[in-house]
Chains A and B, each alone.
Chain A
Amino acid sequence: MDVLGHFNYWVAIALAMVGLYAVTARGHLIKKLIGLSLFQTSVFLLFISIGKVSGGTAPIIAEGFTVYSNPLTHVLILTAIVVSVATLAVGLALTVAIKRTYGTEEDDEIEALDRAEDEQ
């Protein structure tokens, strides 16, 4: 159990904590989306850290290298990044639509407006 051997995983977990905190504690929807993307990158970091082989190089076959890092995790994360941007865009579009409908983008105010509508 040494510190250096697990440091990458811990940073990934800390990032996940920050993201989780932002998603749950912050009321502003765009801030929630920022937290969400932090959470996503923490997962990316975890995967790439798992895929790294010490002493290896990038998995592009070339002469003079025998040890390569794991290409599988790279593939998974590569597509995940593009998808994460797409989902971020969908989230932002939803935020804009909510702003247009409710006139606010704070969580609590939207809930209050909903409740007021139910009571009517």
Chain B
Amino acid sequence: MLLVFVLATGIAAVWLRNLLASAMLLGIYSLLMAALWVVLDAVDVAFTEAAVGAGLTTALMLFAIWLTGRQEKPPVRKPWFPLAGALITGGLLIFGTIDMPKFGDPQAPAQVHVAPYYLENAEAQTGVPNVVTSVLASYRGFDTLGEVTVVFTAGMGVVVLLGGLRRRRRTDET
């Protein structure tokens, strides 16, 4: 049920030509996604989605739209070629899912490799009942260091692109 909602919202967000409306639909999309993560047991992911989608994405989108333009121009070309490309890709991917294990199968390859080890040993080895946190920070700490660096680099990149630091320096001098 939620999945159908999510799909419909995604399609509508692409369909509409008014960018403000698209941004709003993206907000709804994020809300539905958060509910979906809760249904699929991914509580931490839902938490992140909630924190990010509730204020941050909408505000950023609105500011970007304010700085550029509000309305999208109608397309010049007919979009048959991209549509065909998307459909062919989707068809191939669906063909690929036929071999995949059934949804929620406890014997699926993803479930039997390292996850049981984490689930059994995480609390004893780290003293942290939330397995997601312990895997995030301890077992895959190196990974997370990389992710933090990516976020840091993105922040710096935006500041440099939009000239935040240069403006500041100029106000200091005057």
- Which of B41, B102, B143 contacts A56, CB < 8 Å? B41
A28-B72, A28-B73, A38-B10 known; A11+B45 contact, CB < 8 A: no
Chain A residue contacts of B155, Cβ below 8 A:
86, 89
Contacts of B151 in A (CB 8 A): 82-83, 86
Please classify how large the interface on chain B is, using the bins under 10, 10 to 19, 20 to 34, 35 or more: 35 or more
Q: Is the CB of B45 within 8 A of A26?
A: no
Q: Which residues of A contact B63 (CB under 8 A)?
A: 92
Shortest distance between the CB of A35 and any CB in chain B (Å): 6
Partner of B10, one of A15, A49, A62, A79: A15
CB of B110 to closest CB in A, whole Å: 5
Is B86's CB under 8 angstroms from A37's CB?
no
Give the residues in chain A near B132, CB-CB below 8 Å. 59-60, 71, 74-75, 78
Cβ of A25 to closest chain B Cβ, rounded Å: 4
A16-B89, A68-B119, A82-B151 known; 20 new pairs, CB 8 Å cut-off, are: A11-B3, A13-B90, A17-B90, A21-B83, A25-B75, A29-B68, A45-B33, A53-B104, A58-B43, A73-B42, A74-B132, A77-B42, A77-B45, A78-B136, A83-B150, A85-B57, A86-B154, A90-B161, A96-B161, A99-B67
Contacts of B7 in A (CB 8 A): 11, 14-15, 18
Chain A, 38-74, CB within 8 A of any chain B CB = 38, 41, 44-45, 48-62, 67-74
- Closest residue of chain B to A105 (Cβ to Cβ) is B68
Q: Give Cα A95 to B3, complex, Å.
A: 31
B136 touches A108 (CB 8 A): no
State A10–B33 Cα separation when bound (angstroms).
Answer: 16
Q: Quick check: A78 and B45 within 8 Å, CB to CB?
A: yes
Contacts A7-B103, A92-B61 given; does A61 touch B129 at CB 8 Å:
yes
Residues of A within 8 A of B41 (CB): 52-53, 56-59, 68-69
Interface string of B77-103 (1 = CB under 8 A from A): 001001101110110011001101011
Q: Does A116 contact B (CB under 8 A)?
A: no
Closest to A35 in B: B14
B131 at the interface (CB under 8 A from A): yes
Chain B residues, Cβ within 8 Å of A69: 40-42
Q: How far is the CA of A26 from the CA of B78 in the complex (A)?
A: 10
Would you give the shortest CB distance from A70 to chain B, in whole angstroms?
4
